[in-house]
Structure 1
């Protein structure tokens, strides 16, 4: 798998390390990213993807506005 190098604020990385309980900064950030992606997949599985919801809304027939 290809690797990407990025720079992050040290305080941010330390907080991720503390929250994840991982002593290696690289591993801590990777764990966080994997968790974020998995959470997104779980949310999509429960609610359906946002793209599909938008398609469903756009395909509904529009009711004319009532004037009173």
Structure 2
């Protein structure tokens, strides 16, 4: 995997370290980014399930009442 270097505000990194429980800045930022990506995937999955459920409800033919 290719690695990159970026500059971040020290207070931001310290906050990420505290929230993630990581002992060094590199691990803290990596954990935060991975968590953000995983949350995005979970959100996409939930939205897809809701869309499919809505589609299933609207695609069914309605019973004719007589």
Give TM-score, length-normalised by structure 1.
0.69
* SS of residue matched to 1:34: helix
Higher Cα radius of gyration: 2
Instruction: Check if 1:4 corresponds to 2:18.
Output: no
* Structure 1 runs, 4 residues or longer, greater than 3 Å off: none
Aligned length: 49
Q: CA deviation at 1:23?
A: 1.0
Give TM-score, length-normalised by structure 2.
0.71
Instruction: Check if 1:40 corresponds to 2:40.
Output: yes
* Structure 1, unaligned runs of 5 or more: 54-68
Q: Which has the higher helix share?
A: 2
* Structure 2, unaligned runs of 5 or more: 52-66
Kindly report the root-mean-square deviation, in angstroms, between the aligned alpha carbons of the 2 structures: 1.2
